[in-house]
Amino acid sequence: MIAQTRVARWLRLALLGLGAVETSALGAEPALRHVVIYKEDGRFAGWPANHGIWSWGDEILVGFSRGFDKDRGEFHHIDKEKPEEHLLARSRDGGMTWAVENPQPKGALAGTKGMRHGTMPPGLAEDRPEVLREPIPFNHPDFALTVRMENSNNGVSRFSYSYDRGHTWRGPYALPLLGQKGVMARTDYLVNGPSDALLFLTASKANGLEGRPFCARTTDGGLTWRFVSYVGPEPDGYAIMPSTVRLSAMDLVTTIRRRDGSQSWIEAFGSRDDGRSWTLLSTPEPDTGEGNPPSLLRLPDGRLCLLYGRRAEPFGIFARLSADGGKTWSKPMGLREDGGGRDLGYVRSVVCPDGRVVAVYYFHHRSGPLRYLAATLWEPK
């Protein structure tokens, strides 16, 4: 139950117009609320799953892409002939209100060598990845790590990290290929200790195309990384964009975006040996339309919560729950089904201290053409 003081604060924010509330399930308590994070005429905002999300209590930080809006028919409505920026959005009140931050430095380099005012877009001449020389203390209380690929064609990836909740970043640093033809990274990691962390990445298949997830590990603060295991067999289509949680000292669950031909779905794999081997647990979502990545959380009561976008009617953001570690799942719950088309989703989510889920995604509402960044605040029952 949300404290009455929090309910009163939400109601005051709604009356003042702060947080750009779209809709709310009104009643004794606002158990479901949609908030606009960033929306601007002539602009495209999207793909938080390509960037990452981090939280420290009620403070949440998420990355996203901003470009210029362009009607490209069935493709993403972003003008490929104009610049694309990588921005951050920050909330200090558990997702109710947000401020957008531009992490690009002023000038070629801002600050000392190895320090950037944010994660710069890949491909800039002054932003060539370096080799990490000092170990990263993964257990720093204000730590954040972002892992990104340059593009899905060259298989080159990099990482940056922050000690101050994403206000400034060190890097980027080169991520090794780990014996793969290419590594297509998005941010999915688990911290095990001061110098120990797991990364969940996507490798090139034997044919050179993106499409096989795997696990890597460092035990020296990121100075070196080693390949640990593939998650599942090499697919005919693709298996990409893992989202992973830890259940115990040795038990992990990851969810994977799958596609083969015209079919797209989400699979769940489990590991009982801390990532050294994996077993298919279930297919939590058998149909995501044209495909969308999963966002997996472990709730305070131990249940798993899977959030994802659906690129087929009804277009929207959905969730499923599992009470047995990912073996079986609830029926889909439509957190919102007011999408105007396929150009939405790429959810990233966190759990707040009071148990609320904050899911961030990009959205195309049926009322207009803009693609914008939004959040849903939800209390799973």
Question: What are 158-190's pLDDT values in tens digits?
Answer: 999 999 999 999 989 999 999 999 999 999 999
Residues found in the chain: 381
Single-letter code of the amino acid located at 146: T
Query: d(Cα 11, Cα 96) in Å, to the nearest integer?
Result: 11
DSSP 70-103: ---TTS-SB-TTS--EEEEEEESSTTSS-EEE--
Give the model's confidence band at 298: pLDDT under 50 very low, under 70 low, under 90 confident, else very high.
very high
The 10 Å CB-count burial string (b at 16+, else e) for 125-143 is eebebeebeeebebeeeeb
Whole-Å CA distances, 176 to 200, 203, 208: 14, 12, 17
Per the prediction, the chain carries an average pLDDT of 88
The answer to whether the beta carbons of residues 199 and 189 sit under 8 Å apart is yes
Whole-Å CA distances, 130 to 158, 170, 181: 9, 10, 20
The answer to whether the beta carbons of residues 71 and 53 sit under 8 Å apart is no
Q: Which residue has the higher pLDDT, 96 or 125?
A: 96
Per residue in 72-90, pLDDT (tens digit) is 987 899 999 999 999 999 9
Per-residue pLDDT at 211 exceeds 50: yes
pLDDT mean over 350-377: 97
Looking from the CA of 120 toward its CB, the CA atoms found within 13 Å total 23
The answer to whether the beta carbons of residues 29 and 11 sit under 8 Å apart is no
Per residue in 97-142, pLDDT (tens digit) is 999 998 764 333 333 344 444 444 444 444 678 999 999 999 999 9
Task: Find residue 145's DSSP bridge partners.
Answer: 161
Say what the pLDDT of residue 29 is: 42
Q: Report domain extents, the chain.
A: 1-77+85-99+343-381
Say what the pLDDT of residue 48 is: 97
Nearest by Cα to 244 from 263, 219, 271: 271
Query: d(Cα 253, Cα 137) in Å, to the nearest integer?
Result: 25
Query: d(Cα 178, Cα 226) in Å, to the nearest integer?
Result: 6
DSSP 154-182: T--EEEEEESSTTSSEEEEEEEP-TTSS-
If one counts every other C-beta atom within 10 angstroms of the C-beta of residue 5, the result is: 8
Query: d(Cα 138, Cα 295) in Å, to the nearest integer?
Result: 22
Token pair belonging to 62: 């998420």
Query: Beta strand 295-298 with 304-310: parallel, antiparallel or unpaired?
Result: antiparallel
Per residue in 235-246, pLDDT (tens digit) is 999 999 999 999
The answer to whether the beta carbons of residues 159 and 185 sit under 8 Å apart is yes
Nearest by Cα to 314 from 360, 255, 364: 364
Per residue in 233-287, pLDDT (tens digit) is 999 999 999 999 999 999 999 999 999 999 999 999 999 999 999 999 999 999 9
pLDDT mean over 354-360: 97
Q: Is the dihedral of CA 39, 42, 47, 53 positive or negative?
A: negative
Cis amide leading into 172 (omega within 30): yes
Q: Which residue has the higher pLDDT, 85 or 154?
A: 85
The 10 Å CB-count burial string (b at 16+, else e) for 20-56 is bbbebeeeeebbbbbbbbbbeeebbbbbbbbbbbbbe
Nearest by Cα to 254 from 221, 236, 228, 218: 228
The answer to whether the beta carbons of residues 217 and 198 sit under 8 Å apart is yes
Nearest by Cα to 290 from 313, 263, 314, 260: 263
